Amino acid sequence: MRRLFDLLQRAANCDATVLIEGETGTGKEVSAHAVHQNSARARAPFIVVDCGAIPGQLLESELFGYERGAFTGAVTARTGAFEAAHGGTIFLDEIGELSLDLQPKILRALESRKVKRVGSNDYHPMDVRVVAATNRNLREEVRAKRFRSDLYYRLAVLHIKLPSLRERSSDLPALVDEVLGQLGVADSPNAVLIRTPEFLDMLAKYGWPGNVRQLRNYLERSVALGELVGPPGNESLPPSRSSSDRPGSAPPIAFDQPLKLAREQWNNAFEVRYLKAMLDRHGDNVAAAARAAGVNRVHFYRLLWKHGLRNDPSEVTGEEG
């Protein structure tokens, strides 16, 4: 981790494009923001675009903007993320999810340092630092012809690989202290129990597929529920499950309600339990949870919003309202 911090600082001291690879929950966005905050561009915008959360047909206009009348519904012109980040940094998260037809357009923008809005013939110069991140191995994606090699080499000028939590389990005590401090419960009775050597040793034996994000979720739930359940040896299961997540726990059937209403209540309860369990199993990573559930990420986000598990569906498309 000391070598990693040194590399991040070196990245901040220059303006080269950075590619950050690492498993879900290892801190890719935090690292990208640290590079920006410690760079000469710190006072300028830091714009985040999740390339996996935005449908392909909307991503081009999200990145490059569009002119009035470019398509149905484009009643006014809109600035894209590249232009909005002028002078600062654009963070292209989940860059490995880019469709093959959009990849050459990103490559052209990076090489020419110009962008063309959808529906326009004019190019606008851009002055941005590009940091990209993915939980995929882009070298393997290139070999499988799912990612362009020229775009890969253009992005990986500085290549940073974040280690998984299981590769640095000796950091657990410091991470636990940091998370409990952020939650404002560092002195609570449950927090004291979590810090015992026995409990920390139990945490270290778990593989943490969701890495630091999953650890934070686990600690927050343990403190909130007062239920210090150790992570199981089966890594396909979440480390701690509340009673609403346990198999066999289901809402009572409302026999005093009409069939349609009773079925809706039952389905809603099932969806909430299912969504929470899938997020828990995948360290709160929506993309991974959606893939495991066999649905696209946009549909998964809408279900989360429907049940109050996310704030606003506009975070999916980048649209307002």
Condensed to tens digits (0 to 9), the pLDDT of residues 252-279 reads: 566 666 877 777 777 787 788 888 888 8
- Please tell me the predicted confidence (pLDDT) of residue 292: 85
Cα-Cα end-to-end distance for the chain? 41
Alpha carbon of residue 32 to chain centroid? 12
**What gap in Å lies between CA 102 and CA 104, rounded to an integer?**
6
- Segment 293-320 mean pLDDT: 72
Is the pLDDT at 286 greater than 90? The verdict is: no
20 or 235, higher pLDDT: 20
Structure-block tokens of residue 283: 């360290």
- Segment 304-309 mean pLDDT: 83
Radius of gyration of the chain (CA): 22
- Segment 129-140 mean pLDDT: 96
Q: How many residues does the chain have?
A: 321
- Please tell me the predicted confidence (pLDDT) of residue 118: 87
pTM beyond 0.75, yes or no: no
Is the pLDDT at 312 greater than 70? The verdict is: no
User: What are the helix (H) ranges across the chain?
Assistant: 2-12, 28-37, 56-64, 81-84, 103-112, 138-143, 149-155, 172-183, 189-194, 197-204, 211-225, 259-281, 286-293, 297-306, 314-317
Counting DSSP H helices and E strands in the chain, the numbers are 15, 9
- Work out the percent of the chain whose per-residue pLDDT is above 90: 47
| Beta strands 123-125 and 114-116, pairing class | antiparallel
183 C-beta neighbours (distance < 10 Å), count? 15
Is the pLDDT at 242 greater than 50? The verdict is: no
Tell me which of 59-73, 126-140, 181-195, 302-316 is least confident: 302-316
Is the pLDDT at 124 greater than 80? The verdict is: yes
Tell me which of 122-131, 166-175, 193-202, 243-252 is least confident: 243-252
On whether the CB atoms of residues 219 and 179 are closer than 8 A, the answer is yes
